[in-house]
Amino acid sequence: MPFNMKWSTSLLGLLSFVAVVVNGVENPRIIIVGAGAAGIAAASRLYQRGFRNITILEASQRFGGRIYTTPFGPGIVELGAQWCHGEVGNVVYQLASVYPGLLKSSIIADEDAVLIRSSGARVPEAVADRLQTMAEGIIESDQRDSFAGSLGDFFTQKYWQTLATPAYKDISRDLAEQFLVYYHNYERGYTAYDSWFEVAASETDSYVEPAGNQDIAWNGKKGFSAILDIVSGNYPGTTNTSLTPVPISSLIRYGKFVSNIQWKGSPEGDVIVKTQDGSIYETDHVIVTVSLGVLKENSATMFSPALPTVNQQAITGLYFGTVNKIFVLFDAPIPEDFPNTVHLLWYKSDLTALRQSPHAWAEAISTFFRIDNQPNVLMAWMNGAEGRRAETLDDATIRNGILYLLKIFGSGLDFGNITGLLRSKWSSDRLFRGSYSSRSITTENLNTGARALGTPVRNAANEPVLLFAGEATNPVHYSTVHGAIDSGFREANRLINYYS
């Protein structure tokens, strides 16, 4: 056991993790809530720096959180995090790229994304590239910083102004309207919000995109989950001698949904952590790594006393949206003529018909992707409120909707028969309540952000007793695994520095 455990005689069922002494130095008791990327990173960094009195309370029966590599068909798929985004300044790439063959450029990174209209016609590549470049230029424009309204208002104004210039006189009104709807869907999926009219054009926190390939896929049976083994020093063939292999399985207590954290717990200064199954733990520090969605739903009852205003406003103000995936397995390879990435553009009349059909939920699907190393699998990417509603539908309804879309956007192609279906349901899962964080108008109105969420809570003795990690606490790499891992290292280092 990595820590000593005893039953308290003063409170039946009280589990107390007793600090041990190593080389004359007290080994503090540390509880980490959540065994996702941030939790595993924090535990690993602490353990590898000599802290041994660590336990991880995980509400589910697995570790990894929103890294969710799952067997499907003859291989694996990623229900959660899928690609390593960027190389320079990306801790995931830095850690994984030293292992030959573990990472490779994804099949979707070939810049061959195709825009297909609901007539079945493909938008000419040159036209699609011009529109995409123009749209990206608006999103990245410095003029956003001085615009007082929403991102949606800013984008649509600049979009129509630009299209009115002679350089775009060849773009028909129909195509312009379709592209605008598509690009909104694209941005919704990229940043996990329901509408860009909920997002401020001028944002305090700005995501910093690591330079390099943004679509790097994983080889191997463990997929993205391999990064958890690398971080914890347990990856086969690990050559980094600075990493002590962390006994992750012995640190984690599964099925422990944390219901309350008394951060001004006992007269002795202990923090008291309670879980829904009735277990009670005493500790010196807690690192909370649960999703922002869980904090939004539970923070009012999860912390006693209530969190300081700075943390509360961040939980209220930051946005936490939903992006879901549907993986479809066919009994034959995806037809060669179907592109690696297909973005869906709807004529108004076709979209009206879709909304009036049994497949109305399928409006949530913005894109189809091929899957690396799985030639018979196609993935549909779903966004927003419609995507959340789709979580409540049965598999037969989802299957029929996928076939309906493929008849339109894969017209004339034979996909074979569907033999398997797998999908994520991040919003309805009480352990996540969404996919990843972004910024909203409320974020800016409350003058809050990731730094505020990650502000440690201190007791009367100015000790950092309650710490926060997770992608939503990372001001420059929110919404990513590398942002989550960085935040776990950050909070572990905070405690390491405190005790040094």
Does 302 map to a domain?
yes
pLDDT above 50 (res 160)? yes
Choose the final residue of a domain: 171, 198, 225. 198
Read off the pLDDT of residues 298-326 as tens digits, 9 standing for 90 and up. Answer: 999 999 999 999 999 999 999 999 999 99
Burial class (CB in 10 A: 0-12, 13-18, 19+), 242: exposed
Does 402 map to a domain?
no
pLDDT above 80 (res 464)? yes
The per-residue pLDDT for 265 is: 75
Q: Are 307 and 453 in a shared domain? A: yes
pLDDT above 60 (res 16)? no
The per-residue pLDDT for 158 is: 97
The per-residue pLDDT for 25 is: 46
pLDDT above 80 (res 205)? no
Does 415 map to a domain?
no
The per-residue pLDDT for 111 is: 67
Q: Are 445 and 493 in a shared domain? A: yes
Task: Kindly state the average pLDDT of the residues 149-156.
Answer: 95
Number of domains in the chain: 2
Q: Are 185 and 225 in a shared domain? A: no
Whole-Å CA distances, 301 to 60, 275, 295, 311: 20, 12, 10, 14
Q: At CB < 8 A and 24+ separation, what contacts does 490-494 make?
A: 490/454, 491/38, 491/42, 491/287, 491/454, 491/456, 491/467, 492/41, 492/42, 492/43, 492/44, 492/45, 492/46, 492/49, 492/287, 493/45, 494/456, 494/464, 494/467
Q: Are 154 and 232 in a shared domain? A: no
Does 141 map to a domain?
yes
Task: Kindly state the average pLDDT of the residues 176-186.
Answer: 94
State which residues form the domain around 155.
Answer: 125-198
CATH classification at residue 464:
3.50.50.60
Amino acid symbol at 338:
F
Choose the final residue of a domain: 165, 198, 231. 198
Going by pLDDT thresholds of 50, 70 and 90, the confidence category of residue 231 is very high
Whole-Å CA distances, 191 to 186, 187, 286, 383: 9, 6, 29, 10
Beta-carbon count within 10 A of 181 CB: 16
Task: Kindly state the average pLDDT of the residues 5-11.
Answer: 30
Read off the pLDDT of residues 340-383 as tens digits, 9 standing for 90 and up. Answer: 999 999 999 999 999 999 999 999 999 999 999 999 999 999 98
Does 341 map to a domain?
no
Going by pLDDT thresholds of 50, 70 and 90, the confidence category of residue 12 is very low
Query: Which of 138-147, 198-207, 268-277, 288-297 is predicted least confidently?
Result: 198-207
Does 334 map to a domain?
no
Q: Are 157 and 193 in a shared domain? A: yes
Q: Tell me if the pTM is above 0.75.
A: yes
pLDDT above 90 (res 119)? yes
pLDDT above 90 (res 17)? no
3-state secondary structure of 379: strand
Q: Are 493 and 452 in a shared domain? A: yes
9 vs 66, which has greater pLDDT?
A: 66
pLDDT above 70 (res 485)? yes
Query: What percentage of residues in the chain have a pLDDT greater than 70?
Result: 94
Alpha-carbon gap, residue 445 to 189, rounded angstroms: 24
Amino acid symbol at 350:
D
Task: Kindly state the average pLDDT of the residues 124-138.
Answer: 94
Q: Are 157 and 183 in a shared domain? A: yes
Q: Are 445 and 491 in a shared domain? A: yes
pLDDT above 80 (res 213)? yes
- For the chain, the average pLDDT equals 92
Q: Are 142 and 194 in a shared domain? A: yes
Q: Are 162 and 221 in a shared domain? A: no
Q: Are 239 and 299 in a shared domain? A: yes
pLDDT above 50 (res 487)? yes
The per-residue pLDDT for 23 is: 38
The per-residue pLDDT for 9 is: 28
Going by pLDDT thresholds of 50, 70 and 90, the confidence category of residue 15 is very low
Read off the pLDDT of residues 69-109 as tens digits, 9 standing for 90 and up. Answer: 999 999 999 999 999 999 999 999 999 999 999 999 999 98
Q: Are 262 and 191 in a shared domain? A: no
Does 424 map to a domain?
no
The per-residue pLDDT for 3 is: 31
Does 307 map to a domain?
yes
